[in-house]
């Protein structure tokens, strides 16, 4: 009786553990697979297929000169903008996909965040740009906005001290958490799209990055936390369908190269519902005038049963060296298991 009781007792623990271990490995595979979904969405072939299908439906596959009616950048924007900063869910069935589970991905553009390394002159230990319109002025405004949302203390003196003491470029934006003034971000490092209507959290790596191709911000592709700091509309739950219906109207005045002092009213006013003058002072000098995003991040949840595995990846999107103009390669630059 003792032996049988002992074996039964051990078995009652082992069987649930074995089930959990199997689900965990499956969830890990789904999480990694989610990165491949993001890569497929960022590749130009997906964007081109969407544009070709839309043009074919209109009977206008090619323009007068035998070229696609819309340029690749506009096609890409129309494809990516509705789902940017939002959850996309993909449900899997065992009879079709080999596993019962769910992959959830959220794409965010790193060009829509502030690059720590590109705002600092590490040789002089100062902010780049002039005293009147450089990064120092803008960061004063940004820090004030962070203070309002986070209810933290005076951040800019602490941030300026970090700049003066910086000896080397940041390896990761999460290094800021080592400073006590940024400790309030300890539970909000990586962006999580909202699941309820009311949300006011901002995230450290959704404001700052070390992955972008310039010191400019891409105004089409601001991160959700940057929208919060700029007083622009934030992500709404389940609004992808509504945005898909709106995006072609938003993109009708799209320009590959823009002068935002003149073009904001006609191009981005319909998107954000705010005038440029309502944003932080001198922000127009820090907005990218050429639409050419290269770096994105993707948050992936892989769920099987009750087990969820989370991965966060930095992706770089570059034009294919020898392909057509609208072909892109997407590579993984960094991977985090969360």
Q: How far, CA to CA in Å, does 35 sit from each of 41, 144, 224, 279, 309?
A: 10, 35, 20, 33, 13
Phi-psi region of 331 (alpha: psi -120 to 50; beta: other; left: phi over 0): beta
Q: What is the pLDDT of residue 76?
A: 92
Tens of pLDDT along 10-59? 666 666 768 888 999 999 999 999 999 999 999 864 444 444 544 443 44
Contact assessment for residue 15 and residue 30, using Cβ atoms and an 8 Å cutoff: no
Q: Domain total for the chain?
A: 1
Which helix (H) or strand (E) segment holds residue 15: the answer is: helix 2-42
Give dist(CA 204, CA 207) in Å, integer. Answer: 5
Name residues whose C-beta falls within 8 Å of residue 256's C-beta, 6 or more positions apart in sequence. 71, 73, 74, 290, 291, 292
* pTM of the predicted model as reported, rounded to 2 decimal places: 0.86
Q: What is the pLDDT of residue 322?
A: 60
Name residues whose C-beta falls within 8 Å of residue 314's C-beta, 6 or more positions apart in sequence. 110, 211, 295, 296, 297, 332, 333, 334, 335
Q: What is the pLDDT of residue 231?
A: 92
3-state secondary structure of 175: helix
Tens of pLDDT along 153-196? 788 999 999 999 988 999 999 999 988 889 889 889 999 999 88
Q: What is the pLDDT of residue 246?
A: 93
Q: What is the pLDDT of residue 13?
A: 61
Q: What is the pLDDT of residue 14?
A: 62
186 class by beta-carbon count within 10 Å (0-12 exposed, 13-18 middle, 19+ buried): exposed
Q: What is the pLDDT of residue 309?
A: 96
Q: What is the pLDDT of residue 196?
A: 83
Give dist(CA 69, CA 313) in Å, integer. Answer: 33
Instruction: Give the structural domain span for 81.
Output: 2-337
Q: Which residues of the chain have pLDDT under 50?
A: 45-51, 53-69
């Amino acid at each position: 009786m003792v032996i049988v009781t002992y074996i039964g007792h051990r078995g009652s623990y082992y069987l649930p553990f074995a089930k959990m271990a199997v689900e965990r490995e499956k969830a890990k595979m789904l999480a990694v697979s989610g990165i491949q979904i993001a890569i497929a969405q960022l590749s130009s072939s997906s964007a081109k297929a969407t544009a070709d299908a839309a043009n074919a439906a209109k009977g206008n596959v090619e323009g007068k000169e035998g070229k696609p009616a819309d340029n690749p950048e506009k096609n890409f924007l129309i494809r990516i903008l509705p789902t940017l900063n939002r959850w996309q869910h993909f449900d899997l069935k065992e009879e079709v996909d080999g596993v019962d589970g769910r992959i959830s991905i959220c794409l965010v553009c790193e060009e829509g965040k502030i690059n720590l390394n590109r705002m600092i002159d590490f040789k002089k230990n100062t902010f780049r740009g002039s005293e009147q319109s450089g990064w120092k002025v803008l960061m004063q405004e940004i820090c004030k906005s962070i203070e309002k949302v986070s209810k933290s203390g005076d951040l800019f003196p602490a941030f300026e001290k970090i700049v003066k003491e910086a000896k080397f470029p940041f390896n990761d934006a999460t290094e800021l958490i080592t400073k006590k003034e940024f400790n309030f971000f300890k539970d909000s490092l990586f962006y999580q799209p909202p699941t309820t209507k009311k949300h006011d959290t901002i995230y450290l790596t959704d404001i700052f990055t070390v992955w972008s191709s310039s010191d400019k911000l891409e105004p089409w592709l601001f991160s959700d936390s940057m929208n919060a700091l700029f007083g622009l509309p934030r992500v709404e739950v389940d609004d992808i369908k509504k945005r898909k219906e709106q995006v072609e109207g938003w993109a009708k005045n799209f320009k590959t190269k823009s002068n935002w002092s003149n073009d904001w009213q006609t191009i981005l006013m319909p998107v954000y519902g705010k005038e440029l003058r309502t944003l932080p002072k001198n922000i127009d000098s820090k907005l990218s005038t050429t639409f050419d995003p290269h770096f994105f991040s993707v948050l992936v949840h892989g769920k099987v049963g009750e087990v969820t595995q989370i991965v966060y990846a930095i992706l770089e999107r570059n034009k294919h060296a020898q392909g057509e103009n609208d072909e892109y390669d997407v590579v993984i630059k960094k991977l985090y298991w969360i």
